[in-house]
Amino acid sequence: MRPPPSSLLHHLLLFLAAVPSALSKSTLESCASSTACPALLSYTLYADLKLAEVAALFAADPLAILAANTIDFAVPDPANRILPAGLPLRVPVPCACSDGIRKATSVRYVARAGDTLASVAGSVYGGLTTADWIRDSNGMPEGAALDAGTTLFVPLHCACFGGVDSGVPAVYLTYVVAEGDTVPAIARRFRTTGNDLMSVNDLATADVAAGDIIVVPLPACTSSFPAFTSDAGLSVANGTYAITANRCVQCSCGPGNLDLFCVPAPLADSTCSSMQCSSSSMMLGNFTLQMTSAGCSVTSCSYGGYVNGTILTTLTTSLKPQCPGPHQFPPLMPPPTTSFFETYLGPSPTPMPSEGGIGPQMAGMAPTSSPPVSPAPADRRVGDVRLALFALCLVASNLLW
């Protein structure tokens, strides 16, 4: 006996609601290297959450999240600040290579009553992973129930692509397409072009749909710290900050150029190692200027990485045509209390030599709050089953009538 049409329609809708990942397509980066890279995840809060709760979801440092979003990270008790539902954030994560695919692999989640793999993937982590990825990563059989208290390994989409975009240093942001998004709108939001987004994501057309996962290249300042330092490979998106050296050092990028600039962090205390350059009275971030007949001689104390609790500094002297002015920091914003909040992203400047730093009298001052050749592209795989589901709908339609 054929089920009534209303019953068929009900089951069809339930099926479609249960497979959002099947309706979406994802940009995946294949990999073979075990080296991780710095990456960013675009994440929208599903509920009011303390900063510490957001950090725990992604195994991230709360201050690093604030810094990546140019939110004042010198405010008192930042971890207990409540962030509003709907707030968009950029979350910094190490992007590793797992099963031949770039993924963030440091995240763990303890299931709560009522959780399902689909709700964890789609609601808690905002579509940055899939139920299938979580199931496979945890060796769970198809259809297995998720018990409260179960600790899940949650792999998340991320990308490295060599840390460059069209020859310019870049950090890649993983972005889940929202309802109503278009390629031009996403490009404007992140200050890039639709053509660049289509090229990076191997899109034949500018068609995207809610739930699709794409990657967005953000111009960045890169470091050249030795491989033995714990923050080797540090890369900071233009117009933002990073906290490193056990929260003792802050590094910023831009907004005027793509030169990494590091100074003592505002929360640096007596537990931090010396930040003075050897054989000099200069501290990290200081510079001196001296005009000569050949140009402006600039001597600076720069950050060189973090090793076993020791902050490395380097004293360098260079000759510039003109003396640089005071360093311009990216503007910081107070912690948001509403989701109507857009994080700051600097424009995409042409890479140029450094044009400044803070003078000796400004050493250790934090900014105040204010309102190589590109490698061959890695394989990118896109999955899309819309046609299959459309065919399913046609079959269901015949059954209904």
Average pLDDT, integer, range 314-330: 90
Query: Contact, 300 vs 275, CB < 8 A?
Result: no
Q: How many Å from the N-terminal Cα to the C-terminal Cα in the chain?
A: 15
Q: Are strands 164-165 and 156-157 parallel, antiparallel or unpaired?
A: unpaired
Distance CA 73, CA 122 (A): 29
Q: What is the pLDDT of residue 173?
A: 98
- pLDDT for 90-139, tens place per residue? 999 999 999 999 999 999 999 999 999 999 999 999 999 999 999 999 99
Count other Cβ atoms within 10 Å, centred on residue 114: 8
Q: What is the pLDDT of residue 331?
A: 94
- pLDDT for 211-248, tens place per residue? 999 999 999 999 999 999 999 999 999 999 999 999 99
Neighbour-count burial of 41, counting CB atoms closer than 10 A to its CB (0-12 exposed, 13-18 middle, 19+ buried): buried
- pLDDT for 261-309, tens place per residue? 999 999 899 999 999 999 899 999 999 999 988 899 999 999 999 999 9
Residue 325: pLDDT band (50, 70, 90) is confident
Residue 35: pLDDT band (50, 70, 90) is confident
β strands within 167-284, DSSP E? 168-176, 213-222, 235-237, 241-244, 249-253, 260-264
Q: What is the pLDDT of residue 340?
A: 53
Query: Contact, 251 vs 381, CB < 8 A?
Result: no
Count other Cβ atoms within 10 Å, centred on residue 207: 10
Residue 324: pLDDT band (50, 70, 90) is confident
pLDDT at 380 over 50: no
> What helix, strand, coil percent values describe the chain, rounded to 5?
20, 30, 50
Candidate ranges 75-84, 212-221, 252-261, 355-364; pick with highest mean pLDDT: 212-221
Q: Which stretches within 27-149 are classed as H helix? A: 51-58, 62-68, 117-119, 131-137
Pairwise pLDDT comparison (329 vs 16), residue with the higher score = 329
pLDDT at 336 over 90: no
Domain regions of the chain by residue span: 37-107+155-217, 223-320
Select from 301, 303, 286, 298 the least CA-distant residue to 251.
303
Who contacts 176 (Cβ-Cβ below 8 Å, separation ≥6)? 42, 126, 127, 128, 211, 212, 213
Q: Are strands 82-83 and 49-50 parallel, antiparallel or unpaired?
A: antiparallel
H or E, element range at 200: helix 194-200
pLDDT at 350 over 60: no
Phi first, then psi: give them for residue 245, nearest 5 degrees.
55, 50
Q: What is the pLDDT of residue 130?
A: 96
- pLDDT for 144-155, tens place per residue? 999 999 999 999
Q: What is the pLDDT of residue 2?
A: 40
Q: What is the DSSP letter of 26?
A: B
Query: Contact, 48 vs 83, CB < 8 A?
Result: yes
pLDDT at 17 over 70: no
Global pTM? 0.79
Who contacts 390 (Cβ-Cβ below 8 Å, separation ≥6)? none
The CA angle 235-236-239, to the nearest 5 degrees, is: 160
Distance CA 252, CA 254 (A): 7
